[in-house]
């Protein structure tokens, strides 16, 4: 069974902390994505990567960075966590860079910044 | 899909009835559409997709209808079961003009036993 695995289901962090969210996929997909999900707003794209060491900004990259050192791993970094970054974070991978075959999502990380 | 504000629309159906969940999409250039199901505490799960050269596609107990004239997408679930209770949302993708997938905010489906 193919999988996208996010390392943490729940995280509580303090304002100003540096936060790392890890994501691993076993489908050999080149394309990986980080979204945040907030009630009533749908999924919003933070960053995506279409190859190792490649990254592109999504719709809401401010306050975030990413790292893709290996094909299977895509990390989201909150440089200095703030309360408005409290959210559900979803990692996804895809066969297609342009979403032509849909996404496989992880189970999500619910981050609370206090 | 359109944002519908802070509160998700809710659909409540009796077990065994058919469910219809609607989605208005925003980009007339969108040519690929997906329905996802998200159960509580889980990530979204692909249900069914449809391309713009089709107006209907059927899966197991699910049917997606596409009306490009009014930019409307619907998901029909036959013989709804308690396990179908979840948030359902649509996604639209336009392969022309650059990469862009837009997700709708979703509809919460409650199935009453």
* Residues 11-50 in B contacting A (C-alpha not used; CB under 8 Å): 32, 34, 41-46, 49
Least confident range of A53-62, A90-99, B10-19, B63-72: A90-99
For A42, the closest chain B residue by CA position comes to B105
pLDDT tens digits, residue range B9-46?
A: 899 999 999 999 999 998 888 889 999 999 988 899 99
Cβ–Cβ contacts within 10 Å for residue A8, how many? 14
Could you report the per-residue pLDDT of B88-100, keeping only the tens digit for each? 999 998 776 556 6
Residue in B4, B44, B101 closest to A40 by CB: B4
Is the pLDDT score of A4 beyond 50?
yes
Residue B7 pLDDT? 66
Q: Do A99 and B6 touch (CB under 8 A)?
A: no
The answer for A 86-105 residues in CB contact with B (under 8 A) is 90, 92, 97-100, 102-105
Count of CB atoms within 10 A of residue A51's CB? 12
Closest-CA residue of chain B to A90:
B43
Q: Is the pLDDT of residue A100 over 90?
A: no
Report the distance separating Cα A84 and Cα A111, nearest Å.
Answer: 11
Q: Do B44 and A106 touch (CB under 8 A)?
A: no
pLDDT over threshold 70, residue A99? no
pLDDT (average), residues B50-71:
95
Cβ-in-10-Å burial (0-12, 13-18, 19+) of A106 comes to buried
- Interior angle at CA A38, CA B102 and CA B28, nearest 5: 15
Please give the share of chain B, as a percent, with pLDDT higher than 90: 69
Supply the pLDDT for residue B41: 85
Length in residues, chain B:
113
Counting one residue from A and one from B, how many pairs have CB atoms under 8 Å apart?
Answer: 59
For residue B2, pLDDT beyond 50: no
């Amino acid at each position: 069974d193919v999988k996208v695995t996010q390392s943490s289901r729940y995280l509580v962090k303090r304002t100003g902390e540096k936060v790392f969210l890890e994501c691993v996929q076993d489908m050999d997909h080149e394309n990986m994505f980080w979204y945040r999900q907030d009630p009533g707003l749908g999924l919003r794209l933070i960053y995506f990567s279409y190859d190792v060491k490649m990254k592109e900004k999504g719709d809401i990259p401010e306050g975030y960075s990413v790292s893709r050192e290996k094909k299977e791993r895509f990390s989201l970094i909150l440089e200095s966590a703030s309360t408005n970054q409290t959210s559900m974070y979803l990692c996804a991978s895809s066969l297609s860079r342009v979403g032509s075959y849909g996404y496989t999502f992880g189970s999500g990380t619910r981050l609370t910044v206090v | 899909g359109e944002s519908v504000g802070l509160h998700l629309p809710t659909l409540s159906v009796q077990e065994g009835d058919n469910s219809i969940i609607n989605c208005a999409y925003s980009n007339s250039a969108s040519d690929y559409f997906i329905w996802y199901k998200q159960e509580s505490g889980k990530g979204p799960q692909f249900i069914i997709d449809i391309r713009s050269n089709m107006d209907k596609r059927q899966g197991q107990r699910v049917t997606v209808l596409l009306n490009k004239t009014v930019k409307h997408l619907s998901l029909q679930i036959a013989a709804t079961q308690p396990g179908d209770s979840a948030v359902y949302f649509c996604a639209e993708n336009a392969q022309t003009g650059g990469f862009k997938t837009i997700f709708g905010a979703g509809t919460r489906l409650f199935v009453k036993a």
